[in-house]
Amino acid sequence: MLTSALPAIRIGQFHRNDFPGSDLLDILELLARLAEAREAGLPGYTGLELARMMRCDMDTSMRLVRKLDSLEWIARLENFQVPCYVLIANPQQITVSSLFDLFVIEREELDYQLCLDSSHIDRAALMNALSNEKLEVMLATLLAARARPLVRKVPARGGDVHAASNCLKRLASRSALKRNPANADVLD
């Protein structure tokens, strides 16, 4: 089993169990990474880089890339040795609600199924519950709330010192916060 998985492990592919909402989380990560690259003036990321950053397998990342490409939210740049993907949609115009509709629930199909005579579910109550105004937050707002410096991992013998250092700082502040929650505003 390990022998067959070794090539995927070597290139940094990860396997994570799918869970309800995993596509939404993955698409938010993908869009966040592409938005950060655009802000930093980077030429985008390859499919393999995206899979690595999202910590998912290539099949998952490329399935989501194809979906975003079909929506014309991202574009594929062919002028590199390996194609790169860039964000062309404006994060100020993408709502979490639209992502929820695209990657979690298909409202039209749900509405149709609830209208069938065989359904014992109150259609109006469920559809109203799913129409939550709190989902109308813009993607850019989520990205700004979680803004952190972009560190692009460049293959090097010593590894990415900055990323490791930042990770250690975050872990230290989390453990300090667990010991003394009153210092939450001091640590951030």
Domain 2-104+139-150 has CATH 1.10.3720.10: no
Q: According to the model, what pLDDT value does residue 54 have? A: 87
Which is more confident, 158 or 141? 141
pLDDT band at 19 (very low <50, low <70, confident <90, very high): confident
Q: Residue 98: is it exposed, middle or buried by C-beta count within 10 angstroms (0-12/13-18/19+)?
A: middle
pLDDT band at 106 (very low <50, low <70, confident <90, very high): confident
Q: Give me the residue spans of the domains in the chain.
A: 2-104+139-150, 159-188
What does DSSP assign to residue 116? Answer: S
Q: According to the model, what pLDDT value does residue 16 have? A: 62
- For the four alpha carbons of 8, 11, 17 and 23, in that order, the dihedral sign comes to negative
**Mean predicted confidence (pLDDT) in 74-78:** 92
As beta bridge partners, residue 77 has 84
Q: According to the model, what pLDDT value does residue 33 have? A: 93
**Mean predicted confidence (pLDDT) in 68-79:** 92
**CA atoms of 84 and 148, how far apart (whole Å):** 22
pLDDT band at 3 (very low <50, low <70, confident <90, very high): low
Q: How confident is the prediction for the chain on average, in pLDDT?
A: 77
